[in-house]
Amino acid sequence: MSRIDLEEVLKTAKQLNAEEQLQLISELTQSLRLTLKKTSKHKLMDLSGVGAELWRKVDVDGYLNKERDSWD
């Protein structure tokens, strides 16, 4: 299988009308999103509990009040 040259692809894409170019961008974006989703090793929920040991001795109400007071 031969590798497609990026310059060639861009040259061809420039020959498309504006609507076709937008459709191409949309389809490339969709394809990339699916690829990234498949290759993603971590999910946001994987972070649940990370750093919990740092907060064990912290008075949560005191910390929040201190932070809120800093907003003024």
Burial of 24 from C-beta contacts in 10 A (0-12 / 13-18 / 19+): middle
- State the number of CA atoms in the 13 A half-sphere of 22 facing the CB: 3
Tens-digit pLDDT profile for residues 36-71? 888 777 778 888 988 889 888 999 999 999 999 999
For residue 24, pLDDT over 80 is answered with yes
The pLDDT of residue 37 is: 81
Q: What is the value of pTM for the model shown? A: 0.49
Length of the chain: 72
Task: Give Dmax over CA atoms of the chain in angstroms.
Answer: 64
